Amino acid sequence: MTGPSHSRYPKLEAQGIRLDYSQPRTNTRLTALDGVNLAIMDGEFVSVVGPSGCGKTTFLSVVDGLVAASAGRILVDGQAVTRPGPDRAMVFQEASLLPWRTVLGNVCYGLECLGTPRREREERAAHLIDLVGLSGFEHHYPYELSGGMQQRVNLARALLVDPKILLMDEPFASLDAQTRELMQEELLRIWLQAKKTVLFVTHQIDEAIYLSDRVLVFTGRPGRVKETIRVEIERPRPLGVKREPRFHAIEDRIWSLIEDDVRTGRERGHGQDEAVAAGWARS
Q: Which residue has the higher pLDDT, 139 or 21?
A: 139
Residue 171: pLDDT over 80: yes
Residue 251: pLDDT over 80: yes
First-to-final CA distance of the chain: 47
Residue 9: pLDDT over 80: no
3 state SS of 282: strand
Residue 198: pLDDT over 50: yes
Residue 13: name the closest of 44, 42, 37, 46 by CA.
37
Contacts of 104 (CB under 8 A, 6+ apart): 122, 125, 126, 129, 138, 139
Q: Which residue has the higher pLDDT, 111 or 202?
A: 202
Residue 167: pLDDT over 70: yes
Q: What is the pLDDT of residue 277?
A: 38
Helix ranges, 16-160 (H):
56-64, 103-113, 118-131, 147-160
Q: What is the pLDDT of residue 98?
A: 93
Q: What is the mean pLDDT of the chain?
A: 88
pLDDT, mean of residues 113-135? 91
Residue 87: pLDDT over 70: yes
Residue 255: pLDDT over 50: yes
Read off the pLDDT band of 265 (50, 70, 90): low
Q: How far apart, in whole angstroms, are the C-alpha atoms of residue 100 and residue 236?
A: 38
CA dihedral 220, 222, 228, 234 (to 10 degrees): 70
Contacts of 125 (CB under 8 A, 6+ apart): 104, 107, 108, 111, 156, 160
What DSSP character marks residue 67?
S
Residue 126: pLDDT over 80: yes
pLDDT, mean of residues 137-161? 93
Domains and CATH numbers, the chain: 1-87+199-283 (3.40.50.300)
Q: How much of the chain exceeds pLDDT 70, in percent?
A: 90
Q: What is the pLDDT of residue 268?
A: 57
Residue 75: name the closest of 10, 18, 19 by CA.
10
Residue 8: pLDDT over 70: no
Residue 21: pLDDT over 90: no
pLDDT, mean of residues 81-86? 90
Residue 280: pLDDT over 60: no
Residue 199: pLDDT over 70: yes
pLDDT, mean of residues 35-53? 94
